[in-house]
Chain A
Amino acid sequence: MDGSPLARLVVVLIFLVLLGVPVVALTREKPAVEAVVTTPAAQAAVQSVDVSVTLSHPGMVDIRLADQVVLASEAPTASLERVLTVPGSTADLTVKFQWPDGRVSHAGRVTVSHDGEVWADQTFWGETEVVDVVKVQEPAQP
């Protein structure tokens, strides 16, 4: 091979081609990548959650999502369950409990779960009325 000019030319050409591959890869114009805007709206994706309400004494239940009623009792009840859809992995549920018999302290518990995983579990205490917010949030993955 030392004596063949043709073989030398082939080796040099192969070397140049191999050298060109990374140069082309590095200098090639890349397609524009649109910036990902992480707005609250962009994060929204509908999730289905199980909402379970338990009261220590029968009372009226009113649960709202973004000021819209999503779960309400028509008469005093001790428990209530429903599957709701919430936009995204976080939502605020406004919970209102009313007890006709307001002489003693009563408790109302709200549990929200998704695929068996508990996303929220809060208990509220009051005599005649309780209004508060349950923060529904997908637990952070370890």
Chain B
Amino acid sequence: MRLAIIAGLFASIVSVQAQDKLPVVSLGTVLTDLAQDVGGDRVAITSLVKPGQDPHDFEPAPGDVKAVSQAKVVLASGLGMESYLDKLRQAAGSGPSFLVVGEKVKTISAPEDEDHDHDHGDHSHHDHGGGLDPHWWHSIANTKLAVRAIRDAFIAAAPADKAVFEQNAKEELAKLDELAKWVRVEVAKLPASKRVLVTSHDALGYFARDYGFEIRPVQGISTNDQPSSKKVRDIISAIKQEKVKSIFFENMENPKVLTEILQETGAKNGGVLYADGLGEKEGNTYDAMIRHNVTTIVEGLQ
């Protein structure tokens, strides 16, 4: 009897503690990682998009909508990454507060690409975020803005934990400064003439802007954009002309077209990059993803 009472008390304490945590739903793997670092043990995060899953293809299931409606804060990348976002807001009702991080960062335009075919399938409704590139997290400066926005959203939703969120965000920003310095030093090993990135799809525009790379993507801004045969011929010609040493695959992409380009050009396979979010093993945190990508790019092009 005594044991049962103790067990009951323990269970109720655990339950109260769980209820105390701020319920958060994240629609992106990078957002989940940043939110966990900022929220620490004061948040309970449900990540709808899992590591290794293509966010361009994700559609929420009915159970996901329920999780969103029960959350206090919902984190979205925005800029067209979540084509379902408006519908999700309507379905979730007035309960959760939506933080669309893409509205808080310094954006760049998505390159206009008339030279691709859309394989829309079920996604004929997707837009490209009003012509803006949705892969903002490839700029560490943007990720710092995201951390500040997440901190403020958490404080607004759970003011009692303000000190914890502020301290965690401060530590996260310091880590990002260290990461940015590491990236600068690594990228500096490459002369400007070698900073040409041939990738599966156009997801590294922010990285290119920050570090002076030229991007030659096979696909457009979305993984659903398919290259025309003319575009593939142009890329092959450019790779040969510029003597590009390596081309890079992505963890979520079909490698068929890039493999053909490798065979045609004689360039080497530079490795796999994490472009649309975190990976399952390698690159399973934001820090690890950036370090993996930068190391792969520098070693591939040196």
Task: List residues 240-291 of chain B with CB under 8 A from any CB of chain A.
Answer: 241-243
| Cβ contacts under 8 Å, B190 to chain A | 66
Cβ-based interface call for A76 (8 A)? no
Question: Given contacts A39-B214, A39-B242, A67-B302, are A44 and B192 in contact (CB under 8 A)?
Answer: yes
Q: Is the CB of A92 within 8 A of B184?
A: yes
When chains A and B are docked, how far (Å) is the Cα of A44 from the Cα of B184?
A: 20
- Shortest distance between the CB of B23 and any CB in chain A (Å): 41
A–B complex contacts, Cβ < 8 Å, 24 sampled: A37-B242, A39-B193, A39-B196, A39-B238, A39-B242, A40-B196, A40-B212, A40-B214, A41-B196, A44-B193, A64-B189, A65-B191, A66-B188, A66-B189, A67-B188, A87-B192, A91-B191, A93-B188, A94-B189, A131-B181, A131-B185, A132-B181, A132-B184, A133-B187
| Cβ contacts under 8 Å, A66 to chain B | 188-191
Task: List residues 26-48 of chain A with CB under 8 A from any CB of chain B.
Answer: 37, 39-41, 43-44
| Cβ contacts under 8 Å, B191 to chain A | 65-66, 87, 91
| Cβ contacts under 8 Å, B184 to chain A | 92, 132-133
How many A residues are at the interface, by size bracket?
20 to 34
| Cβ contacts under 8 Å, B214 to chain A | 39-40
| Cβ contacts under 8 Å, A132 to chain B | 181, 184-185
| Cβ contacts under 8 Å, B212 to chain A | 40, 90
| Cβ contacts under 8 Å, A40 to chain B | 192-196, 212, 214
How many B residues are at the interface, by size bracket?
20 to 34
Task: List residues 43-85 of chain B with CB under 8 A from any CB of chain A.
Answer: none
Which secondary structure characterizes the binding site on chain B? Answer: mixed
Interface-central residue, A40, A43, A67, by most chain B CB under 10 Å:
A40
Q: Is the CB of A133 within 8 A of B189?
A: no
Query: How many residue pairs between the two chains, A and B, have CB atoms under 8 Å in the bound complex?
Result: 56
Q: Write the residues of chain B forming the contact surface with A, with a CB cutoff of 8 angstroms.
A: 181, 184-185, 187-196, 212, 214, 238, 241-243, 302
- Shortest distance between the CB of A89 and any CB in chain B (Å): 10
Q: Which residue of B lies closest to A131 (CB)?
A: B185
| Cβ contacts under 8 Å, A58 to chain B | none
When chains A and B are docked, how far (Å) is the Cα of A94 from the Cα of B186?
A: 9
| Cβ contacts under 8 Å, A37 to chain B | 238, 241-242
- Shortest distance between the CB of B207 and any CB in chain A (Å): 15
When chains A and B are docked, how far (Å) is the Cα of A6 from the Cα of B126?
A: 74
Interface-central residue, A67, A91, A93, by most chain B CB under 10 Å:
A67
Besides A37-B238, A131-B185, 13 other CB < 8 A contacts?
Answer: A39-B193, A40-B192, A41-B242, A43-B192, A64-B189, A66-B188, A66-B190, A67-B302, A92-B187, A94-B189, A131-B181, A132-B184, A133-B185
| Cβ contacts under 8 Å, B185 to chain A | 94, 131-133
- Shortest distance between the CB of B146 and any CB in chain A (Å): 24
- Shortest distance between the CB of A59 and any CB in chain B (Å): 18
When chains A and B are docked, how far (Å) is the Cα of A91 from the Cα of B191?
A: 7
Q: Is the CB of B193 within 8 A of A87?
A: yes
